[in-house]
Amino acid sequence: MKQLIIIGAGGFGREVLEWAKQSPAYRREWEIAGFLDDRADCLERFSGLELPLLGNTHDYEPRKDDVFLCAIGVPQLRMEMRKRFEAKGAVFTRLIHESCVVGSRVELGTGVILCPRVVLTCDISIGANTAMNVSTAMGHDASIGTDCQISSFCDITGYVKIGNEVFLGSRASIIPGKQVGDRSVIGAGSVVVADVPEKVTVFGNPARLLSRHD
């Protein structure tokens, strides 16, 4: 049986552990082996957590039965971890909670995480290693790139196009047909009513430019 290893033992990592234990694949396709994290003390205050810290992300060498999920909430770090482990020959799996609704002609890349009550309607594409948190919805003909972090209760409407390494804060909404460029950040509660260029942070209703970044 495969051994699932969760990269990242922070808050999102511990949430992913909960959803993994509720997955139909648990104990049918894989057991949960533990976490990888570069902070040696990251689990010390969680005495009831039954899973071990297996090591750090630099030194761990994937074994033939390992499969991985990246549970780090920062898109650029998600990308770095994916590339680091793919270079070692690691295999990423998908996690789709049983409460999700996934319609027809939905394409999911490797390593995609769909947390409880995510709704994907139809004709949707989601790139590798993107995570969608609780109760987020995505409309028809929309797409998301690789290594994105989509927070809880977001509303991604029809024909929206989101680039790579994008972060959406909780309850962010994007009206139909708008585009969000690579590495941009949409602040929590924002309503995007115009295209967002790459490498910027926007916030508000309507969303306005706060800063530019690399």
The structural domains of the chain, with segments of one domain joined by +, span: 2-93, 96-200
Residue 140 a catalytic site member: yes
Q: Residue 166's pLDDT is what?
A: 98
| Res 128: pLDDT | 98
Q: How far apart are CA 172 and CA 174, in angstroms?
A: 7
Q: 73: annotated binding-site residue?
A: yes
Question: 159: Cβ–Cβ under 8 A, 6 or more apart, which residues?
Answer: 139, 140, 141, 142, 176, 177
Q: Which tokens belong to 150? A: 């989509």
Query: Looking at residues 88-112, what average pLDDT do you find?
Result: 97
Class of domain 96-200: mainly beta
User: Is 2-93 assigned to CATH 3.40.50.720?
Assistant: no
- Strand pairing of 167-168 and 185-186? parallel
pTM beyond cutoff 0.75: yes
**Is 114 in a helix, a strand, or coil?**
strand
Percent of all residues in the chain with a pLDDT value above 90, rounded to a whole number: 93
Q: What would the mean pLDDT of 22-49 be, rounded to a whole number? A: 89
Res 51: pLDDT: 83
User: Average of pLDDT values for 74-96?
Assistant: 97
Give the position of tokens 């270079």. Answer: 87
Ranking 18-32, 46-60, 119-133 by mean pLDDT, the lowest is 46-60
Q: What pLDDT, on a 0 to 100 scale, did the predictor assign at position 42?
A: 86
d(C-alpha 78, C-alpha 69), whole Å: 10
